Amino acid sequence: MSNIRYLSPFIHTEKTAPYIYLTHIAALMPCVAAGFVFYGISAITLIFGCAVAFMLLDNAFGRMVRRDGISRNYTDFSSIEAGVIYALLLPPGTSLVVALTGVLFGSFVVKQFFGGAGNNILNPACVARLCVELLFPSQMSSFKEPLTSWFDVMSLIGRTDGVISGDDPQSLHIVEIITGNYAGYIGTGCALLILCAWIYLLVKGTVRVYAPASYLVMLALLYPFMREGLELNSEGFKSLGIFLMSSGALFIAVYMLGDFTTMPSRILGGVFAGVICAVMTAVLYGRVSDMCAVLAPVMATNFMSFEIDFFTKTIARRGKFNQREVKITK
């Protein structure tokens, strides 16, 4: 009888880390294209610059701090994904210095400090965006009129020519909201493309659906209480749809709350995480900046992911409820 002992993992799948991240990057490309069409050269420069800077900083910090990156047996695309998501959450009038400040914080403090790819407990793009929101609040309202500032690159060096305040989504036509044709963030506006990307990720099986779905459903249930403190020009389901599509909630649900690394791995844990995130968003919305209201709950939920998983694991054991995402047959 052989005494050979095989090392883990014992569950093998074709969905490797590079495959998962590549599908996520592919799902981000429609939003990148929309940002380029609406805001031109400055937008694509920010997206490309943030993605490359994230990748280079992650590699450099990994080699200096942990001496890895040389013998790694797979290609790490998580840095590119984080850089693109972060850039799409920025206003098109953001300067490169401000954008790169967030990249530096997200790469070193959030990701490498906890051990690099696969070990970070917080979403790097989320915390990087919160960092610049708090440090540079005036820059985070540097919006541009879509389709009219295609060749304007002066904002990249801090010039405010052509920079305007954002449109009030509640006063826009629903078609403008769906297509993203209004003054907003680079890649969070086109709801139609974001929904198509979500369907693509679900078909590929590289994103969890429990947290994003419960988050959006809970936000819809809490919206009547949220809107009481807001000045809205529309009512009913139209107002709810405009809020979900224009506030960044849909973008965050699709590209952050389904993450394998920073969100609970169990079905019930994902549902709890989505509900908790939605409740915190409802409490914060209208009291802090809109981006803080949707991103801070994601960061808080990331912090609680381990506890949520442990709690739901205990519930599952007592209720004898099977929550494995991979079924194991004897």
- Residue 2 within any structural domain of the chain: no
- Residue 264 within any structural domain of the chain: yes
3-state SS string for the chain: CCCCCCCCCCCCCCCCHHHHHHHHHHHHHHHHHHHHHHHHHHHHHHHHHHHHHHHHHHHHHHHHHHCCCCCCCCCCCHHHHHHHHHHHCCCCCCCHHHHHHHHHHHHHHHHHHHCCCCCCCCCHHHHHHHHHHHHCCCHHHCECCCCCCCCCCHHHHCCCCCCECCCCHHHCCHHHHHHCCCCCCCCCCCHHHHHHHHHHHHHHCCCCCHHHHHHHHHHHHHHHHHHHHCCCCCCHHHHHHHHHHHCCHHHHHHHCCCCCCCCCCCHHHHHHHHHHHHHHHHHHECCECHHHHHHHHHHHHHHHHHHHHHHHHHHHHHHCCCCCCCCCCC
Amino acid of residue 323: Q
- Residue 330 within any structural domain of the chain: no
Give the pLDDT score at 321. 53
Mean pLDDT of 40-69: 83
| Residue 64's CATH number | 1.10.3430
Res. 70: pLDDT tops 80:
no
- Residue 301 within any structural domain of the chain: yes
Helix 290-319 crosses helix 267-284 at what angle (to 10 degrees)?
150
Percent of the chain residues past pLDDT 70, beyond the cut: 81
Give the pLDDT score at 242. 85
Res. 88: pLDDT tops 80:
yes
Q: Structurally, how many domains does the chain consist of?
A: 1
Find out whether 296 and 130 touch, Cβ atoms under 8 Å.
yes
- Residue 110 within any structural domain of the chain: yes
For residue range 219-234, what is the model confidence (pLDDT) as tens digits? 999 988 887 656 555 5
Res. 322: pLDDT tops 70:
no
Split at pLDDT 50, 70, 90, the class of 172 is: confident
- Residue 275 within any structural domain of the chain: yes
- Residue 306 within any structural domain of the chain: yes
Res. 294: pLDDT tops 90:
yes
For residue range 237-257, what is the model confidence (pLDDT) as tens digits? 778 888 888 889 999 999 999
Range of the structural domain that residue 103 is part of = 17-315
Give the pLDDT score at 329. 43
- Residue 323 within any structural domain of the chain: no
For residue range 252-293, what is the model confidence (pLDDT) as tens digits? 999 999 988 888 888 888 999 999 999 999 999 888 988 999
For residue range 129-166, what is the model confidence (pLDDT) as tens digits? 999 999 998 888 878 888 887 888 888 887 666 666 66
